[in-house]
Amino acid sequence: MRYICRVCGYEYDEEQGAPEEGISPKTRWEDVPEDFVCPLCMVGKEEFDRAEETL
């Protein structure tokens, strides 16, 4: 599952995690800490939307 920042377009991919932010690969979005901020524009987790999956 992927989540996209509405402000800048940064993409969080659960498979990859965000190791540079201390979040291990395979970390589900709901398990990402509530104080997570976008590494590009610094907005909170509430500014992310689930990406539409294409088949």
Q: What is the pLDDT of residues 4-21, one digit of tens each?
A: 999 999 999 999 999 999
Q: Which tokens hold the place of 45?
A: 């987790």
**Average pLDDT of the chain to the nearest whole number:** 95
The answer to whether position 43 is within a domain reads: yes
The answer to whether position 38 is within a domain reads: yes
Query: What pLDDT is attached to residue 5?
Result: 98
Report yes or no on whether pTM surpasses 0.95: no
Q: How many distinct structural domains can be found in the chain?
A: 1
Q: Which tokens hold the place of 42?
A: 């610094």
Range of the domain at 29: 2-50
Return the exposure string of 23-46: e unless at least 16 CB atoms fall within 10 Å of the residue's CB, then b.
beeebeeeebeeebebeeeeeebe
Query: What pLDDT is attached to residue 52?
Result: 86
Q: Residue 18: give its domain's CATH number.
A: 2.20.28.10
